Structure formats: C-alpha cells, structure tokens
Amino acid sequence: MKFTFIKLPNHRRFNPQTIYYDEAKEERKERERRIREELGLSPTDEEDAGNFEDRIRGRMRRRIKSSFEIAHSERRKSNIRLIIILIALMALFYYLLQAGYEWYSRFM
C-alpha cells in the first residue's frame, strides 16, 4: 500500500464539445449575406441580429483601451501625484526651517 501525505493535482484538459454548431450552415449564411449585400437587397431578420452582434463587439473594442494606453495614463497620473507630494514636502520643510530659525534667533 502506498501512503502519500501530499496529493499532487493531475493534469486536466479543457475540451469543450460544441453541440449546436453547424459549420456548413454558418458558411452558407455568411455567403448569402455577402451576396445580398452586393446586390443591394434588404437583409433578413437573422442577418440583422448578426449585424447587431458585430456592432456590439466593435463598440466594446473601441471602449476598451489597450494596455499601452492604460499604462501610459497611469504612469502620468503617478508622476503628477509624485510632483505634488514633493512640492508639498518642500514647502513644509521650508516652513519648518523658517520657524526653527525664528525660534533660534529669539533665544540667541
């Protein structure tokens, strides 16, 4: 008998099984949509739903900033905050030096 105190996790794979997907049907719908678009015919209700999904995805992509833009804006905010803190500390240090000098000059 083998006794183990620590159980190591087994390797597990994610293997989703698509149930309701028909690749030929999707290709046929896309081909029909392109042909209708080229001929200038009005789209069907199903195609309107597909266009709606595409528009939602496009808007979400435009709203989501890239990681570079986010990092750049956060870095700028951090630098401004640091400059404000340094200015406040320098003003406090100057005030303490002046107060110390006045206190020193009273007793001397």
Over the chain (108 residues), the average pLDDT of each successive run of 10 is 72 76 85 86 60 61 68 90 97 91 75
- Residue 45 has a pLDDT of 54
The one-character DSSP state at 5 is: S
pTM of the model: 0.39
Which letter does DSSP use for residue 20 in this model? S
One-character DSSP codes across 24-91: HHHHHHHHHHHHHHHHTPPPPHHHHHHHHHHHHHHHHHHHSPPHHHHHHHHHHHHHHHHHHHHHHHHH
* Number of domains within the chain: 1
**Residue 51: domain span:** 20-64
Tell me how far apart the alpha carbons of residues 20 and 30 are, in angstroms, rounded to a whole number: 17
In a domain, 3, yes or no: no
Within-domain flag for 71:
no
Question: Do 36 and 43 contact (CB within 8 A), yes or no?
Answer: yes
The sign of the CA dihedral 17, 20, 24, 26 is: negative
Predicted pLDDT of residue 4: 72
Does a structural domain hold residue 93? no
pLDDT attached to residue 59 = 60
Residue 41, pLDDT score: 77
pLDDT given at position 58: 58
Residue 51, in any domain of the structure: yes
Provide the pLDDT for residue 69: 79
What's residue 84's pLDDT? 97
- What pLDDT is recorded for position 9? 76
Say if 42 falls within a structural domain.
Answer: yes
